[in-house]
Homo-oligomer: A and B are copies of this chain.
Amino acid sequence: MVVHRKARDYRWEGVTELPYKEDDRALFRSVTRQVLFSDPAMQGELRYFEVAPGGFSTLERHAHMHAVLVLRGRGHCLVGDEVKQIELRDLITVPPMTWHQFRATAAEPLGFLCMVNAARDKPQLPSEKDLARLASNAKIAAFLRDEPEDSSL
Q: How far is the CA of A36 from the CA of B90 in the complex (A)?
A: 10
Which of B44, B84, B94, B113 is the one whose CB lies under 8 Å from A69? B113
Q: How far is the CA of A87 from the CA of B79 in the complex (A)?
A: 33
- Give the copy number: 2
Task: Please state if A1 and B115 are interface contacts (CB–CB under 8 Å).
Answer: no
Task: Please state if B46 and A43 are interface contacts (CB–CB under 8 Å).
Answer: no
Query: What number of A residues sit within 8 Å (CB to CB) of B?
Result: 44
| B residues near A4, Cβ cutoff 8 Å | 79, 82, 84, 86, 90-93
Q: Which residue of B lies closest to A39 (CB)?
A: B65
Which of B65, B88, B92 is the one whose CB lies under 8 Å from A41? B65
Task: Please state if B69 and A42 are interface contacts (CB–CB under 8 Å).
Answer: no
A19 within 8 A of B: no
| Chain A interface main SS type | strand
Binding-face segment, A6-14, A21-29, A122-130: A6-14
Report the minimal beta-carbon distance from A72 to chain B, rounded to whole angstroms: 9
Which of B5, B44, B80, B96 is the one whose CB lies under 8 Å from A91? B5
| B residues near A116, Cβ cutoff 8 Å | 44
A137 within 8 A of B: no
Interface residues of A (CB under 8 A from B): 1-7, 10, 12, 36-37, 39, 41-46, 64-65, 67, 69, 71, 79-80, 82, 84, 86-96, 113, 115-119
Q: Which A-B residue pairs are the 5 nearest by beta carbons?
A: A44-B44, A7-B89, A43-B43, A37-B67, A5-B91
